[in-house]
């Protein structure tokens, strides 16, 4: 009976987004399994591509002659049954290609690289051989193209002297180390030593080492490093059969130079006890239930996570926990490694692709049963999951803003259903969506009302910056904030200053004519970067020199406007020359590990003030911080995004939590031009519940989530007209199919209408119930294929997080 594999090929287009049937040749019959990566020929030429086997059958509907699988890329499956299913489901839900989903679920190293080469297969004149092939057997296609010798090679192809070959390269290499082991017993080695006589001091040393080794193994590199022995001494030993060298696989250990202090469980307080009971019950009953764990900073959510995981491990199950990338600090990792030791695998963006792959395999083999990581860790190949935890559940980073546009929360719930286990969504300021679901008892709400240390939440004081301006204070620091900072410095306490960068940037403007330097590719102004002394575009990365003369009116009154962290730092130096400041923003944390380094030195008291953007709102947990200043609380409020208030409230609440976590009482100063705004007022009162009610009523009035579902459709093209026209066409196609209560916003040009020389148009659909919308959008994608090969792009984002 013939075996046939259904394969999803690595060609991300609408036409090829389906399984293709291939014969499994006899030589692979035993080895091919579902979820394995294979190499298959695809198309008319000799082209070969990577594919995933999604099914093995014995019949086909395909009329033509089946091709055969030509190679295997793995020894075992890389996608298990669950992942195969999840990928398919995700493709449907997010309008992405199946292949893109599978690749997203796996470590990047498992994505194939392709090479196209021209290989010599017949004799050619010697001069040509050297001119074209430089004396080698084959050359790279790209190289041939750049050396402009392709025409000559194509000539040779016609004479069958060369062939075009395609190589699918597997990048997934495991790290190996060479180890050696003695072949002889102590006594036999002693005999060898005697027969050496007085000559060969190196060989003698080698024998002594082997004697010491006993039966143990030692790596070749370790031995050459710690002794005078060289690789060739060891090779001689191998030749004399004293020892054997073999290769063993090692994991790249990203934490190899760190040790972890073991920690033990704390006694839970009454509130924590009450919250954890229902969770533990669901864990032991192996029942899917989504818990929304709401608790202010310091209320002990982490301990609940840790004890839930401990229970899960005791039940012989594993645990998966997501945290936002920037919260994945060494402190955080210590918590988990300290409690669960070697059982913990950590996945984050700081790891190399190889390290990620090793952690992935550790998980896959069941060697690590606790996985902690950022968004994409939700796809970790954990088996037998007992609990899934998403900390800081409200964070927008859990939604991926490129294809596949999945939300980790949705994937978590899907996997929880698959594994029959509970999900914990934790936050001090739950997203309105989740909080509303708890209201409707879709999720179970658990609250931690008090902080573990019984500390009151810090006092928040709002400073009206309009008054400061009236009183001719032109600096970024209100009089009050300056006073408080001086006071803390005198007391040797620490200060955190937050510059809210949302919707904000520093730009260069001419005071004579108002000219603002724009990006030549995008419709936005360039941002000033003092460190590189350039103007940069945040959308496309375009960079140019800082102008000193206005390009428009040729005047020299061109000045900087807006406030970046660098400018604040300089201002701070003028106002408070005695203060030591650590600045933390995208620029100072670009290098790997820089983020941690800055935090550590601040934690060690090497500076008085930590100045930074959003990223400092998380993961810093230093007892000596007693003052938090928010320099501009409201810059995000002006954005045309219905989540602007929610984000502002969340940010302010989060930074407030940074002040006074130990014995010292904390204080928060919030500077704003909108002191009456409810998001700011309610953050001051630490009043989530009122904020929730108020915001819900506004969402209701505006027909926004969680009352309505949303889909964002975006078209883009180099020609503005093409993008606009297509968007118009889409709207015209969909509109008649929608329910009367459904609302369509658009088509409109995007807030930044041109980015990277492409024009963007968008439409937002807000709906309650549209059974046919998914099919209609799918139809649009199917029918736009031709245009999409000609430079049109269509993006469909279900439940988008960013509307601008």
Taking the least distance from each CB to DNA, the nearer of 141 and 507 is 141
Stretch that binds DNA, among 7-15, 639-647, 708-716, 767-775 (CB under 7 A): 7-15
Using the rule CB under 7 A, which residue among 471, 739, 789, 802 binds DNA?
789
Distance CA 692, CA 635 (A): 21
What's the closest the beta carbon of residue 236 comes to DNA, in angstroms? 49
User: Annotated binding residues for Zn(2+), as ranges?
Assistant: 510, 513, 519, 522, 537, 540, 550, 553
Stretch that binds DNA, among 64-72, 537-545, 585-593, 646-654 (CB under 7 A): 64-72
Q: What is the DSSP letter of 235?
A: H
Stretch that binds DNA, among 44-52, 584-592, 720-728, 772-780 (CB under 7 A): 44-52
Stretch that binds DNA, among 21-29, 342-350, 384-392, 501-509 (CB under 7 A): 21-29
Taking the least distance from each CB to DNA, the nearer of 14 and 396 is 14
Q: What is the DSSP letter of 48?
A: E
CA-wise closest residue to 475 among 572, 559, 548, 378: 572
Q: What is the DSSP letter of 407?
A: B
Residue-by-residue DSSP string for 263-322: --PPPP-HHHHHHHHHHHHHHHHT---EEEEEE-TTSSHHHHHHHHHHHHHHTT-EEEEE
Distance CA 722, CA 709 (A): 28
Taking the least distance from each CB to DNA, the nearer of 67 and 383 is 67
What's the closest the beta carbon of residue 45 comes to DNA, in angstroms? 3
- Residue 50: exposed, middle, or buried by beta-carbon count in 10 A (0-12, 13-18, 19+)? buried
Question: CA 379, 381, 386 angle in degrees (round to 5)?
Answer: 90
Taken in order 668, 563, 529, 402, the sign of the CA dihedral is positive
Stretch that binds DNA, among 43-51, 79-87, 229-237, 357-365 (CB under 7 A): 43-51
What's the closest the beta carbon of residue 411 comes to DNA, in angstroms? 26
642 counts as binding DNA under rule CB under 7 A: no
Using the rule CB under 7 A, which residue among 64, 135, 577, 771 binds DNA?
64
95 counts as binding DNA under rule CB under 7 A: no
45 counts as binding DNA under rule CB under 7 A: yes
CA-wise closest residue to 604 among 594, 596, 612: 596
Q: Which residues, including other chains, have CB under 8 Å from residue 607's CB and lie 6 or more apart?
A: 494, 580, 581, 582, 601
43 counts as binding DNA under rule CB under 7 A: yes
User: What residues from 412 to 441 belong to the interface with DNA (CB under 7 A)?
Assistant: none
Matching residue, tokens 């007022």: 681
User: What residues from 452 to 511 belong to the interface with DNA (CB under 7 A)?
Assistant: none
547 counts as binding DNA under rule CB under 7 A: no
Using the rule CB under 7 A, which residue among 2, 62, 142, 349 binds DNA?
62
Taking the least distance from each CB to DNA, the nearer of 13 and 76 is 13
Taking the least distance from each CB to DNA, the nearer of 239 and 786 is 786
User: What residues from 330 to 359 belong to the interface with DNA (CB under 7 A)?
Assistant: none
Taking the least distance from each CB to DNA, the nearer of 273 and 783 is 783
Stretch that binds DNA, among 35-43, 261-269, 461-469, 732-740 (CB under 7 A): 35-43
Stretch that binds DNA, among 6-14, 173-181, 414-422, 767-775 (CB under 7 A): 6-14
47 counts as binding DNA under rule CB under 7 A: yes
125 counts as binding DNA under rule CB under 7 A: no
Distance CA 530, CA 195 (A): 72
CB distance 438 to 285 below 8 Å? no
What's the closest the beta carbon of residue 117 comes to DNA, in angstroms? 11
What's the closest the beta carbon of residue 631 comes to DNA, in angstroms? 45
Taking the least distance from each CB to DNA, the nearer of 21 and 596 is 21
* Strand ranges across the sheet with 581-584: 459-464, 667-672, 625-630, 494-498, 609-612, 581-584
59 counts as binding DNA under rule CB under 7 A: no
Taking the least distance from each CB to DNA, the nearer of 23 and 486 is 23
Residue-by-residue DSSP string for 440-470: TTSSEEEEE-S-TT-PPPPEEEEEEHHHHHH
Taking the least distance from each CB to DNA, the nearer of 157 and 383 is 157
Taking the least distance from each CB to DNA, the nearer of 47 and 774 is 47
What's the closest the beta carbon of residue 91 comes to DNA, in angstroms? 16
Q: How many residues bind DNA (CB under 7 A)?
A: 25
Stretch that binds DNA, among 15-23, 187-195, 315-323, 513-521 (CB under 7 A): 15-23
Distance CA 133, CA 131 (A): 6
Taking the least distance from each CB to DNA, the nearer of 99 and 655 is 99
Tokens of 165: 């070959």
781 counts as binding DNA under rule CB under 7 A: no
Tokens of 218: 């030692």
Could you tell me whether strands 243-250 and 423-427 are parallel, antiparallel, or unpaired per DSSP bridges?
Answer: unpaired
Taking the least distance from each CB to DNA, the nearer of 55 and 596 is 55
28 counts as binding DNA under rule CB under 7 A: no
User: What residues from 65 to 94 belong to the interface with DNA (CB under 7 A)?
Assistant: 66-67
Using the rule CB under 7 A, which residue among 8, 22, 242, 377 binds DNA?
22
Neighbours of 592 (CB within 10 A): 12
CA-wise closest residue to 764 among 644, 641, 648, 638: 641
Using the rule CB under 7 A, which residue among 3, 34, 41, 731 binds DNA?
41
CA-wise closest residue to 693 among 671, 713, 678, 672: 678
**Residues forming beta bridges with residue 165, ordered by sequence position:** 117
Using the rule CB under 7 A, which residue among 8, 20, 400, 427 binds DNA?
20
What's the closest the beta carbon of residue 795 comes to DNA, in angstroms? 14
791 counts as binding DNA under rule CB under 7 A: no
Taking the least distance from each CB to DNA, the nearer of 69 and 320 is 69
Taking the least distance from each CB to DNA, the nearer of 13 and 277 is 13
User: What residues from 263 to 322 belong to the interface with DNA (CB under 7 A)?
Assistant: none
Question: CA 371, 373, 374 angle in degrees (round to 5)?
Answer: 150
Neighbours of 690 (CB within 10 A): 12
Distance CA 197, CA 193 (A): 7
Question: CA 462, 467, 468 angle in degrees (round to 5)?
Answer: 90
58 counts as binding DNA under rule CB under 7 A: no
**Radius of gyration of the chain, Cα coordinates, nearest whole angstrom:** 31
Please confirm whether the linkage preceding 345 is cis (ω < 30° from 0): no
User: Annotated binding residues, as ranges?
Assistant: 510, 513, 519, 522, 537, 540, 550, 553
Could you tell me whether strands 667-672 and 507-510 are parallel, antiparallel, or unpaired per DSSP bridges?
Answer: unpaired
What's the closest the beta carbon of residue 14 comes to DNA, in angstroms? 9
Distance CA 378, CA 366 (A): 16
Distance CA 34, CA 47 (A): 23
User: What residues from 134 to 173 belong to the interface with DNA (CB under 7 A)?
Assistant: 164
540 counts as binding DNA under rule CB under 7 A: no
SS3 per residue for 633-671: CCHHHHCCCCCHHHHHHHHHHHHHCCCCCCCCCCEEEEE
What's the closest the beta carbon of residue 716 comes to DNA, in angstroms? 15
Using the rule CB under 7 A, which residue among 111, 116, 240, 274 binds DNA?
116
Q: Which residues bind DNA (CB under 7 A)?
A: 11-13, 15-16, 20-23, 41-45, 47, 60, 62, 64, 66-67, 114, 116, 164, 786, 789
């Amino acid at each position: 009976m013939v075996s046939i594999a259904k394969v999803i090929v690595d060609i991300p287009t609408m036409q090829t987004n389906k399984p293709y049937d291939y014969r499994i040749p006899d030589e692979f019959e035993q080895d091919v399994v579902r979820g394995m990566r294979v190499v298959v020929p695809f198309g008319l030429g000799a082209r070969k591509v990577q594919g995933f086997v999604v099914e093995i059958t014995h019949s086909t509907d395909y009329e033509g002659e089946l091709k055969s699988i030509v190679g295997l890329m793995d020894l075992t499956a890389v996608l298990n049954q669950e992942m195969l299913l999840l990928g398919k489901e995700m493709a449907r839900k997010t309008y992405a290609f199946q292949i893109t989903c599978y690749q997203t679920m796996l470590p990047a190293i498992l994505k194939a690289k392709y090479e196209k080469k021209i290989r010599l297969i017949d004799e050619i004149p010697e001069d040509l051989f050297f001119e074209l092939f430089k004396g080698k057997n084959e050359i790279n296609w790209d190289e041939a193209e750049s050396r402009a010798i392709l025409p000559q090679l194509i000539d040779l192809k016609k004479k069958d002297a060369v062939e075009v070959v395609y190589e699918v390269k597997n990048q997934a290499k495991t790290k190996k180390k060479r180890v050696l082991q003695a072949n002889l017993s102590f006594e036999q080695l002693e005999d060898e030593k005697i027969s050496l006589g007085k000559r060969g001091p190196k060989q003698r040393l080698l024998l002594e080492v082997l004697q010491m080794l006993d039966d143990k193994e030692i790596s070749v590199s370790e031995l050459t490093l710690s002794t005078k022995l060289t690789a060739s001494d060891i090779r001689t030993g191998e030749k004399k059969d004293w020892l054997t060298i073999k290769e063993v696989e090692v994991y790249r250990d990203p934490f190899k130079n760190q040790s972890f202090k073991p920690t033990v469980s704390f006694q839970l307080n009454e509130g924590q006890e009450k919250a954890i009971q229902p969770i533990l019950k669901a864990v032991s009953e192996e029942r899917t239930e989504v818990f929304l764990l709401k608790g202010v900073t310091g209320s002990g959510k982490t301990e609940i996570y840790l004890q839930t995981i401990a229970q899960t491990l005791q039940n012989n199950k594993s645990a998966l926990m997501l945290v936002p990338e920037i919260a994945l600090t060494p402190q955080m990792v210590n918590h988990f490694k300290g409690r669960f030791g070697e059982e913990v695998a950590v996945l984050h963006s700081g790891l190399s692709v190889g390290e990620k792959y090793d952690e992935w395999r550790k998980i896959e083999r069941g060697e690590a049963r606790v996985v902690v990581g950022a968004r994409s860790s939700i796809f970790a190949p954990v088996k037998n999951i007992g609990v899934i935890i998403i900390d800081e559940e409200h964070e927008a980073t859990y939604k991926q803003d490129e294809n596949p546009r999945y939300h980790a929360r949705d994937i978590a719930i899907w996997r929880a259903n698959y594994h029959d286990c509970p999900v914990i969504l934790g936050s001090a300021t739950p997203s309105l969506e989740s909080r509303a679901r708890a209201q409707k008892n879709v999720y179970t709400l658990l609250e931690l009302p008090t902080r573990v240390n019984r500390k009151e939440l810090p006092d928040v004081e709002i400073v009206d910056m309009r008054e400061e301006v009236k009183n001719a204070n032109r600096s970024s620091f209100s009089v009050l904030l300056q006073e408080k900072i001086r006071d803390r410095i005198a007391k040797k306490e620490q200060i955190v200053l937050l510059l809210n960068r949302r919707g904000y940037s520093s730009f260069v403007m001419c005071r004579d004519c108002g000219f603002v330097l724009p990006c030549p590719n995008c419709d936005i102004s360039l941002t000033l970067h003092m460190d590189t002394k350039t103007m940069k575009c945040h959308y496309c990365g375009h960079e140019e020199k800082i102008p000193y003369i206005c390009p428009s009116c040729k005047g020299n009154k061109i000045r900087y406007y807006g406030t970046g962290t660098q400018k604040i730092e300089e201002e701070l130096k003028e106002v408070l020359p005695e203060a030591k400041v650590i600045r933390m923003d995208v620029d100072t944390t670009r290098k790997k590990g820089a983020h941690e380094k800055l935090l550590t030195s601040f934690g060690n008291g090497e500076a008085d003030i930590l100045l930074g953007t959003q990223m400092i709102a998380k993961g810093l947990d230093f007892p000596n911080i007693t003052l938090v200043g928010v320099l501009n609380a409201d810059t995000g409020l002006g954005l045309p995004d219905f989540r602007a208030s929610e984000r502002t409230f969340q940010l302010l609440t989060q930074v407030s939590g940074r002040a006074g976590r130990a014995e010292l009482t904390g204080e928060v100063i919030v500077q704003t031009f909108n002191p009456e705004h409810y998001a700011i007022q309610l953050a001051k009162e630490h009043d989530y519940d009122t904020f929730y009610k108020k915001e819900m009523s506004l969402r209701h009035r505006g027909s926004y989530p969680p009352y309505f579902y949303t889909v964002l459709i975006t078209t883009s093209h180099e020609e503005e007209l093409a993008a606009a026209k297509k968007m118009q066409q889409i709207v015209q196609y969909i509109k008649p199919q929608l329910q009367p209560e459904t609302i369509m916003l658009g088509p409109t040009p995007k807030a930044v209408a041109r980015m990277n020389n492409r024009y963007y148009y968008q439409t937002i659909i807000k709906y309650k119930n549209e059974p046919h919308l998914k099919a209609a959008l799918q139809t649009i994608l199917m029918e736009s294929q031709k245009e999409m090969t000609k430079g049109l792009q269509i993006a469909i984002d279900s439940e988008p997080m960013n509307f601008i």
